Chain A
Amino acid sequence: MTEHERTPVDYIEVTRRTYDGLGYPPYHWVRSEEPPAFAPVTKPLSACRVALIASGGVYRQGQIAFHFRDDASYRVIDTSVPTDELRATHFAYDLRDARADINVVFPIDTLRALRDEGTIAGLTDEAYTFMGGIYSARKVAEELAPALVDRVVAQEADLCLLVPV
């Protein structure tokens, strides 16, 4: 792991203090005992099609918005979407900047620009969004993650970029 010049905010500790102050029991964060899988990157970045998955509660106008009670559904966003049709809804982060410029949590214009400049080969046709404030890690691991894996594999993505908030 790389050292950071400033001490990063420890959100596990911040959450513990907040819950403690409210009289709630501590939240049990996932601590992975097993090391992660590690798939080899076999092509240069400039030859790779990238799939985007973002958790910031992004939806496209016309789609059903997310609710805030462990919503494990997801939305399919066409990566040719006009940026002004994108919205953000979430209970756990300050939405003002995301609603002013969705690229702060869903870097769609950024990735299209990186494609145009040749840094990446392109985007998959579909991107995926969900509302990541899901307290049930089981629901994520058993329902949402397998569904998104199937989608990303079907898109024949070379790489997958994930953006939490």
Chain B
Amino acid sequence: MCHQSVGLIARAVEAAGIPTLSMTSAWSITASVNPPRAAFVDYPLGHTTGQPHDRADQLRIVRDGLRCFEQIGEPGTIVDLGADWGEQGWREQPLRGASRTATAAAAGSDRPAKADDGDSRGARHATPQYQLDEDRLAAEARHGADKACVACVGFDD
């Protein structure tokens, strides 16, 4: 869904005259929405701009992605950046998720990196889902009734 949303926004920004480049790890969705320019990163979802704590990988992917602005001359082109995750088991159950961080942590313990339920997607809660409880407290402190926020925009009525 993310890739579809981004593709639609890319088309709208481009129509306003600003050239866009969409990174993508979901080729078929991007091809279907058809944004003006795209760069394919063949990693499990959640790593569209590189592997965690790997500066060289992140720099290469984003630098090569940006170079597509100068290389793509035909609307709707998807360039493969040649990213290689290494171990390819994530392809078997791509919605299960994959995490370098968890794999590294599991290497030092007897517990598996993740219970294998085939799908890492969570429930679609209708209230804000904070990463940390302190984030909720900070947001509530800043968003009292008379404190309008210019950075959190576009809520449903």
Indicate whether A and B interact.
yes
Binding site for B on A (CB under 8 A): 1-6, 8-14, 18, 29-32, 35-41, 44-45, 48, 50-51, 53, 55-56, 59-69, 72-77, 87-89, 91-101, 103-107, 109-111, 113-114, 119-120, 130, 132-135, 137, 140-141, 143-149, 152-153, 157-165
Binding site for A on B (CB under 8 A): 1-29, 31-36, 40, 42, 44-53, 55, 58-59, 62-63, 65-67, 69-70, 75-80, 82, 88, 91, 94-102, 119-132, 134-136, 138-139, 142-143, 149-156
Bound-state CA distance A35–B135 (Å) is: 42
On whether the beta carbons of B52 and A38 are closer than 8 Å, the reply is no
| Complex A-B: 22 CB contacts under 8 Å | A8-B40, A18-B95, A29-B32, A29-B33, A32-B7, A36-B35, A37-B36, A38-B75, A39-B36, A63-B139, A73-B153, A92-B1, A92-B122, A96-B101, A103-B58, A110-B50, A110-B59, A113-B55, A114-B62, A130-B5, A133-B124, A164-B24
Select one of B63, B101, B136 contacting A119, CB under 8 A.
B63
Q: How many Å from the CB of B140 to the closest CB on chain A?
A: 9
Identify the closest chain B residue to A14 (Cβ): B94
Residues from chain A with Cβ under 8 Å of B49 in the complex: 103-107, 110, 163
Bound-state CA distance A97–B21 (Å) is: 23
On whether the beta carbons of B4 and A87 are closer than 8 Å, the reply is no
Identify the closest chain B residue to A60 (Cβ): B151
Task: Given A92-B45, A92-B122, A104-B52, output 8 extra A-B contacts at Cβ < 8 Å.
Answer: A37-B15, A61-B139, A63-B152, A97-B101, A140-B4, A140-B5, A148-B9, A164-B48
Query: Given contacts A68-B122, A88-B131, A144-B5, is CB(A110)–CB(B58) below 8 Å?
Result: yes
On whether the beta carbons of B46 and A56 are closer than 8 Å, the reply is yes
On whether the beta carbons of B11 and A68 are closer than 8 Å, the reply is no
Residues from chain A with Cβ under 8 Å of B22 in the complex: 162-164
Instruction: Tell me the number of A-to-B contacts counted with CB atoms below 8 Å.
Output: 360
Select one of B44, B131, B151 contacting A94, CB under 8 A.
B44
Residues from chain A with Cβ under 8 Å of B77 in the complex: 1-2
On whether the beta carbons of B153 and A93 are closer than 8 Å, the reply is no
On whether the beta carbons of A32 and B46 are closer than 8 Å, the reply is no
Q: How many Å from the CB of A19 to the closest CB on chain B?
A: 11
Identify the closest chain A residue to B131 (Cβ): A87
Select one of A32, A87, A104 contacting B130, CB under 8 A.
A87
Query: Given contacts A97-B51, A133-B2, A137-B8, is CB(A8)–CB(B128) below 8 Å?
Result: no
